[in-house]
Amino acid sequence: MENIPKGWLEKAISEGHINYIDYDKFTDPIEIGIGGFGKVSKYEWRDSELTVALKSLKVDTNIDERIIKDFINERPGK
């Protein structure tokens, strides 16, 4: 399996391909499901007054870069 290049995610964030939001901006988690990538929970997004669903990506040292890219490219309803 291909390993994730070190700093790949940090680079994508610094180049503006991915929006980074501090996790502490999300409160009141309620687990609502489990998908192909991992757990999905409902949160309240502080400052925006939106209720959102956050997906967690289960990462271990053997995770393939392709899985991370698929996760990042996923869109609602896909």
Ligand X SMILES: Nc1ncnc2c1ncn2[C@@H]1O[C@H](COP(=O)(O)OP(=O)(O)OP(=O)(O)O)[C@@H](O)[C@H]1O
| Annotated binding residue 25 | no
User: To the nearest whole angstrom, how small is the minimum distance from the Cβ of residue 62 to ligand X?
Assistant: 19
Is residue 33 part of the contact set for ligand X (CB under 6 A)?
yes
CB under 6 A: which stretch of 18-26, 29-37, 43-51, 60-68 binds ligand X? Answer: 29-37
What does the DSSP assignment read for the chain? -PPPPTTHHHHHHHTTSS----GGGEEEEEEEEE-SSSEEEEEEETTTTEEEEEEPP---TT--HHHHHHHHH--TT-
Q: Which of 44, 55, 56, 57 binds ligand X (CB under 6 A)?
A: 55
Q: Which of 36, 50, 60, 73 binds ligand X (CB under 6 A)?
A: 36
